[in-house]
Structure 1
Amino acid sequence: MKITALHIYGYGQLADTVIDNLTDFQVFYGENEAGKSTIMAFIHGILFGFPTKQQSELRYEPKHHTKYGGKIRIYHEKMGYAVIERVKGKAAGDVTVLLDNGTFGGEELLKELLENFDKNLFQAVFSFNLHGLQNIHQMKGEEIGKFLFSAGTLGTERLAKTETILQKELESRFKPSGKKPILNGKLQALHELNQELKKSAAKNKEYENLVRKGENLQQEIEQINKRLKEIQESIEKLNEWFRIEAIVKEEKRLKNELGELGEMAKFPVRGIERLEKLAELIHPCNARLKTIGEVMEQTEQELELIVPDVSFLEAEPELSALLDQVPIYEQLKLEKQQYETKLKEYEEELLVIKEKLHLKLNEEDIFTINTNIYMKNQVEIVSLQCKKLAELKLELDKQYLQEKNSLEEIEIEITQTESQCLPKRERVLLEEQASARNDKLGTEEDLKNIREKIDFYEFLLKQDKDAKGRQKLQFMIFQLILLGLIFYGAVTKQFILLLIGLAGIAVIALFMTQSIKQRKDKDAAQKLEALKEKEQQLMQQLQSAKYMDLAKVEQKLEQDRELREQLKLLSFKLKQQQVQFDKVITKFETWEFESAENKKMLKTLSAELHIPENMAALFLVEAFQFIEQYKPIVRKKHQLLKRLKEVDGQQVKIETGIISYVDRFLTENGTSLQQAAYLLRKKLKSELEKKIKSQEIKKKLNELKMEWKQIHQELTHLKAEYFKLINSANTNSEQQFYELGEKAEKRQALQERLQSLQGQLQYSILSEQEREKFLQIQPHDETVPNLKRETQHIREKLNTLQEEQAAIKYEIQALEEGGGYSELLHKFRQKQYEIAEDVKEWAVYSVAHDILMNTIETYKNLHLPKMIIQAQEYLAFLTNDRYNKIHINPSGSGFLVERNDHTIFEANELSQATTEQLYVSIRLALAMTLYQKYQFPIIIDDSFVNFDSGRTRKVIELLTKLERNQILFFTCHAHLLPLFAKENVLRLEKGAVQISS
């Protein structure tokens, strides 16, 4: 994947910034706060989402702009060109992806382009900055080796940190000889609890007897309390009967009296009162009916004297509307004068535009010319393109001369260097003379290498032997501790401790098996013997051979080699310069094509706008603007003529309407339109007043009729109710009705008294059956005192039992407060449970640590060798073959580095600069081997500021050789710029971006 262009809408301090034509090796140069970090964060944000507010990363939201986000144009090896746009929206922003083939998508399509890489992995593998190098400077000892190993696997130090964290978690939970770890402390506390539990077991039997005796006493107390409750209930019922005895007897008497009255016909409720009230309402209704009849007769006579003109009133809506338009008539006169004046102004404006355009335009044809938004945009684009093409032509002429001169200078320098090189035949002869010397040096070098390897393998065998001894001692200590734990669990019958011990022995056996499988003593010994035999052979070869000193020959060959290396470098520069020269030629061809297209478009626009081509070439925008102004003026003129015609029609309509109404309804004619309107309005007012007065009289008459009808209906209803009430009591006269009412009132009084008594008995604790029972028995007054004496006797016995129960509870409490068996047993079980949970947690970290170490071992054997081979090549190149080999540290997870004199160094023994070169080699090798199928851009942020000029030149040269991946290099150091091609440098300034010249 290659990034070809950036368009920043708003991100940090950058806004409306466009960077295009990014090269395969693009350098971004700028001072501090020029926007380098903003551009890097912009690339990460567009590809992987903006940082959320919960994250610690900067969001780079603009302070002075509303837009947030932008887009990136990329070239993908499989899917072609694509534009990725991300703007402010949800937490990580709203993203859209558009491929050149028309495919449109969002996050899913972006993941497909990025091949499911996330931000952390991308930054770990393809992003360099000072953070990784600073970590190396801050570390000591074996931490540097672990950090470099982690950088070679994940790209960051996370692997080393994870291993350290797991080891600390294991040691904080359990150590074979420790006291502070959690498990060690809890095992000691469990042992102490077990001793106390044994002492308390002896007292447990006495405690159980006391508890059993207390339970028996509790049952006897409950039975006595039950008898006391029964006696209390009997006393309460007897007292209640003595209270309600008189009420019960009166209730029985009232029921007998009601029975003697017997059943009677139903009499209306409050019948006498209702009959008297109906008689009082009938008399006023008769008097009211007579009065209303007299008023109705007077109102009908008054209505006959007022009669309005009905035909005139029927025309009232149309006449009122017409009269309301009389003031408008005068306004229309003034409006007509204004329209005529405005019409003259439009005709003068059209005449001025025609003179400026100097074209034959008529008002009918002007609307056929297209002046929409698209046409206006095309006119502006073509006009702007003309100016840009002219400016580009001047710039291309300048670039052509510069690139041509540079190309000629390099060709002259190549010719001079070729003339200084040795002829081929002479060089072959000198190489043959120096071959003997080279053979001797090669043999001596091989002998030196073999001796260093012999020392290295002897060192490994000794170190492995010491490690085996220490490991065997550790395993024996662990086994003794676990056997003790198993023995203790078996003796005390604590199966959890027994299981923990067995599981620990199984884990140790597994570790011992794996360590045995990994032993390579036999192979190392065999290699050591083979190297010693090779050493003897080389020593014999050196003693039997004859050599000669050819220092001068070697000096000539060395000078010729340097010249040829310089010639290769010049050839490389010549190719690069030729590419730049070809780019300028290509730009000339592009300019000619764009110029021809522009002329073609200009001709099309001039035809559509009906203007000559020579005018379009010089004044296309101005001509379009005049035509655009001409059309709305003509449109306004036509609208004005249409409005004048409407005004004339309205005036004629008002005059005709007024005259027609005057002829129909007035006997006299007005001298003017306004006077006629006044007379019509006066007559209309008079007729409306008659109509209103007539309607009010009719309304009053209707109300009187409705009131007479209502009172008549009410009187009829009252009489019906009167006779209905007498008939409801099955009587034929008022006298019979009153006699029956007195008898009904007496029965009502008895029933109300009975209900009152029953209400008093409702809340009694005695039921109706119990009251009947007491009436028959008639209890004696001595019954309650007898029951109270029995209660006193039972309470005395209850007090005795409760005192005995309190004594037993006190003894039980004394045993429990002294650390009873049950409490100790509960604590013991709780402690066992806690230890089991802690052991589970320890086992989780142990398994995780084993998995991590096995993964590292697998990575060492399968993937790491390939990466190390590539890293060796990079390190040898960067150090000029001073350090040419990298070995895996057999005793840890770090690296060993071999110098060209076969001296082995650990990572912490190297200088800071060499350690940084090793780090850069490993990081580049990681991207080029393990992630070689992902051709993402490599982003470097001033990662080599601690290098001297020679090291910096070498690392830049190495980066130029990485052809598969695009390089984006950010720097604020001006002294680095001569190392790059000028066309590959983008200069960043505060608020601006420009290409270096």
Structure 2
Amino acid sequence: MRIVEMHIYGYGQLEDVKITTLANFQVFFGENEAGKSTIMAFIHGILFGFPTRLQSELRYEPKHSTKYGGKIRIYHEEYGFAVIERVKGKAAGDVKVFMDNGNIGDEELLKELVANFDKNLFQAIFSFNIHGLQNIHQMKGEDIGKFLFSAGTLGTERLSKTESALQKELDSRFKPSGKKPILNEKLQALHEINSELKKAAAKNKEYENLVVKKEMIQQEMQETNSFLTEIQEKCEKLNEWKRIETVVKEEKWTRMELDELGEIEFPARGIERIEKFNQLIHPYNAEILSLTGRIETVKKELAAIQPEPNFLENEPAILALLDQLPLYEQLKLEKQQCEMKLAEDNEKLSVTSEKLHLSLKEEDIFSINTNIYMKNQVEIISRKRQKLAEAREELEDRYQEEKNLLEEIEKEVRLAERQVLPKQERERLEEQVGYGNDKKSLEWELKALQDKVSFIEEENERDKAEKASVKRQKKYQFFVFELIFAGLSLYGLLSQNWILFLLGVLGCIGMVIFMTKSTKHPNSKNMDQTLDSLREKERQLIQKLQTAEYEDFTKLENQLLLDNQRLEELQMLKFKLKQQQSQYEKITAKFAEWEMESAQNKEKLLSISSELQIPEYIATTFLLEAFELIEQYKSICREKKQLNTRLEQINQQQTKLEDGLKSYETRFLPEKSLDLHNTAYLLRNKLKEEHEKQIKTQERLEKLAGLEADRKQRSQELEHLKVENKKLLHAAKVETEQQFYELGAKAEKQGKLLERLETIQSQLQYSILSEQDRDGFLLIHNSDELVIECNQEAQHFQGKLKRLHEEQASINYEIQILEEGGIYSDILHHYKQKKFELDEAAREWSVYCLAQELLSSTIEKYKNVHLPRMLLKAEEYLSFLTNGNYQKIHLQHSGLGFLVEREDRTLFEANELSQATTEQLYVSIRLALATTLYENYRFPIIIDDSFVNFDAKRTQKVIELLKRLEHNQILFFTCHSHLLPLFPKENVLSLAKGAVQIIS
């Protein structure tokens, strides 16, 4: 299985991330917290389900998105392409699988795709990280070998941990020379209690006698049970014999019949086979005679047809000439076209020469330089000259425009200066407007005060209306409650229930007091005082405004505002005047620049016209046109030269074709002096006739070979049938077919008897009686009497067993009375309790012993059956990683662990190796486990920075080893940039806070 694409909807910090076209060896590079672990967890989550909330693993639920999950596209060798999508839903998420063939499935289809692997097994085999190497660093020397063995069997250290845990449990329960383990302590305590029990039993001889008698009865009961079991078994066998007696006798008769027939050697299906051979022999004889006659006919036809070999030998050359015949017509046409083109070129040369009006010869024209650089210079100078002319016209227009604008702006400035008020008149207006603003502020203050007074008056009226409404409601409530309490007091008085009477009176008094207090309104003197002060202030403002002198302040303000606008317009006009003066100066400077550029361009133009041999008066105006005419003249002369060369080639080809056809006409055709087309037609017809003869000859030869092969095959098959017929007679050891048929009848009878014997044996195979028992019972003639005797003996022993049970119960009762009567019973009870505890602890200890034994036997089976193949691959990987220094890996003869053989045949235990070599051994074993024992499950191998402790050479070797794993996709996660040069750039994906990009 290979992962092709990934689309992460939301997983941890990654949101809406798409990763397409994953390579067979894909590298994910990113710094810490860039999302490498998130992508690894995402792959595990999509394939095997999200972690539940009860598990200790991170769920990677996104913080800023509601989408949780995503999809991956895989390619499976058996099922093809598929898309696995898992989103938020039930505990492990809702999953759907979309196959490219249109099938849609759920968790069951996904289990088929992942071969029923679970997450733990997948991570143990195909996913490993630096923690596996760190475990080696933290172990003691004697534990390293066990850890490596566990990694080679399960992919993790779980096996070594399980063995250590079992041994620890066993040691905590029992040690042969220990005192603290549980079983040792309980054995010591039981031994002490047993001593006390014996002392107490010595004082009670009667108890001992009863115990002895009890044991004797138990022994006698066991013997009686044994006899009873034997009698019952005998009765059961007799009953079984009565059931199968007739079948056993039939078996004996069948065996006797088979012994009389003896051993018969007869071929399987012999009668059927010999009859089939006889049916086939006669048709084969007739078919062979027919084939012989047809062969003679074909030989006669073949002698009448023979092609002309000399003519066919020249076929390639003749065909080559005939194929060139259409070319001959094309050459004639092309020759006419070349001649016409040559005349046109001469005409063009004369026209071009007239346009140039230069005395140029065809030989001299090629000496003029018309290369790309010269053409570029001509175009640059022509364009420059055109641009300079256009620039002059534009400059003149702009100069006149800027000059007119400058004069208009100067007029506007002078007009605006005349419209602005003088300085003294403006100061007088500002003083008068200032006084008008004070009057307006008084008017605004008066209006605000009047609004405030009206608001407070309205609020006061509204408050009074609300209080009146509340007062009416309270009066109604008071009246209702007074009636209730009055009724309560009246009822208490009439019924002489003084408590109710007292409650009613107190309720009436309380309601009167409450109503009196609630009807008192809060003092409203503050609001009245506020209104009076505001009205007084209003009268003062009105008097102040009435005493003020009236003037038309609005007109003054408008005058001042108009003058302000004129001043702003004047400033704007002055600014525009300054800008326009600057523009006018720029235009003047550009005129000077134009003059310099024009002089430089003219100098270059004269230089190029001299080189091109063009007069100055033409170059000044028509430099580019003259250059193009010179190029055209050159091109026509070159084309004219090519046409003359082509005419010579055409004449040569036509002559060669005509001579070739004439030579074959003289040799093979009866007609002579024909034109070219007739000669070609007759040669082509003759080729066709000879080919037809050749084809017919080949057909007859093939037909003849086929008929002869058929005759030979039929003869061989006829001979084979005769041989097989003789083999059947020989196999049956007879001389004639009549004897063969008689022997076949006996063999058929023997087969039926064997079938019957097999049926009888199938009936007897479930019987409890063995073959010896059945032979013995055949000698018995009174089986019914024996059954009756056995039943009587069984009844006798059952009665005896019943009496012994009654006697045992009586003795147990007497023992119980003795035990309840003294200290002995307490000690015995304590003894049995401790013995029970010891039995429970021993049973638990035996469970751990059995588990350890099962684990050991499983390990031994794995070491002998599966591990050798894995070790061969691990040796290959280790030799490659260590450059041949370590070549062999041997299993320890007992227990877990490995021995590693160096190049010089020296053996090392795992803890004797260097730290780096131990890590290389671990990597070799893990990769060998995935590529041998699980080679049929080609899942991606996921590696998370497992080689950071290696030096540069070891790292390069392990990367080369990974690249050799062709059957498994490699997903390599790293945060170390120095590893990136070891991989192709297109195989590296850069991770940066949720963004994914290819490193370039």
Shorter-chain TM-score bucket reads: 0.3 to 0.5
Q: Scaled by the length of structure 2, what TM-score is found?
A: 0.38
